[in-house]
Structure 1
Amino acid sequence: MKPYKKSGFTLVELIFVIVIIGFLSAVAIPKFANLTDNSKSASELATASSVQSALDAIHSEWISNTCDFDWGNGKNTATTPLNASGYPDSLGSDSAHPLDYILKNTDNGDWVLVGGKYYGPATKDGTSTKDRNIAHKPEGNDYWEYNAAAGTFTLIDVN
């Protein structure tokens, strides 16, 4: 009779694998901890960049036109005139849709307008407690400000 030979992993091998998995998770988990916050911040920056690009396009068209023209999201200078600087006086119709004059997607549920301040998904109408104090990144109590005279959509860092 042949002796019975067991096949499988020993306890030492299993503990070694558990230690390796623990080390990898200790390194990887902190990298993914701020993933949601970073994606909201990136989304907000991309939308703000689109708003600024739309404002620049409206202004350049205003400079080159001498008659009424369509601008933004279905607006016309005859029905919704631009100010003396060639920029819209407002970016949206109300606080529920604060960017619908500029952006084609009129469902701006991630953006709100409160007291003349624009808040996106990362800034959450100034009530977010997640403030990592990273310069030029929207977070915490930061907000966006629209200057109709200069045509700028600027992030205001509140520390």
Structure 2
Amino acid sequence: MLTLRGRSRGFTLIELMLVVAIIGLLAAIAIPKFGDAIIRSKEAAVRGHMGALRSAISIYYADNEGFFPKVMGLQGIMPGLNVGNKYLTAIPPIKIPTAPIHQNSDLICSTFFGEWACAGGVLGETVWLFNPSMGVLVVNCGHPDSRGVIWSIQ
């Protein structure tokens, strides 16, 4: 005689499809958030480099009794900051993730008489802009970051 066994253990096709749909929905929500987090972390790296440069400039200013470092040469080198690795080992590069049109650069350009001007005519690139008379350092980029703040006024 045939005996009826209890219901076999396992998941039905409907239950498995429902689980796959829920996982897909969660992935659709989470993956763009991870992309935003990567962009924010790259922006934070640029802000961190800017903070390191500003700190080195402040320490140089204090060590040299009120004189800011000068930018020399067409490559935008600040010899006062790099000599002997006392303040910086190297000028950090700028990599703006929200403005891929700009080329990455580690140049520092100087300003004179209130005008932003770059040595070698590289003002269109993304460079560090430094005003040696006031000690102001900014990024030469008019694009906003992920928070909507323009890079050149940070």
Q: State the TM-score bracket (shorter-chain normalisation).
A: 0.5 to 0.7
Q: Tell me what 2:58 maps to.
A: 56
Q: So what's the TM-score if we normalise by structure 2? A: 0.58
Q: Tell me what 2:134 maps to.
A: 150
1:94-151 CA-partner distances (Å, limit 9, x unpaired): 46999745413x3x5x61xxxxxxxx022678238xxxxxxxxxxxx75431112222
Residue type matched to 1:37 in 2? I
Q: Tell me what 2:108 maps to.
A: none
1:38-65 CA-partner distances (Å, limit 9, x unpaired): 22211111011111111111112222xx
> What is the count of residue pairs matched by the alignment?
115
Q: Residues of 2 paired with 1:62 and 1:124: CA distance?
A: 38
Unaligned runs of 5+ in 1: 64-84, 112-119, 129-140
**What is the identity percentage for the equivalent residue pairs of Structure 1 and Structure 2?**
26
Alignment of 1:31-42 (within 5 A): 31-42=33-44
Equivalent of residue 126 in structure 1, options 87, 102, 109? 102
Alignment of 1:40-119 (within 5 A): 40-63=42-65, 86-90=67-71, 94=75, 100-101=82-83, 102-104=87-89, 106=90, 111=93
1:20 and 1:124, CA in 2 relative to 1: closer, same or farther beyond 3 A?
closer
After TM superposition, what 4+ stretches of structure 1 lie above 4 angstroms from structure 2?
A: 91-99
Q: Residues of 2 paired with 1:36 and 1:144: CA distance?
A: 23
1:91 and 1:23, CA in 2 relative to 1: closer, same or farther beyond 3 A?
farther
RMSD of aligned Cα (Å): 3.5
Residues 131 and 137 of structure 2 are in contact (CA less than 8 Å); yes or no, is this contact kept in structure 1?
yes
Q: Match of 2:137, SS? A: strand
Unaligned runs of 5+ in 2: 105-124, 144-154
1:143 and 1:157, CA in 2 relative to 1: closer, same or farther beyond 3 A?
same
Residue type matched to 1:41 in 2? E
Q: Match of 1:126, SS? A: coil
Q: So what's the TM-score if we normalise by structure 1? A: 0.56
Superposition deviation, residue 7 in structure 1: 1.6
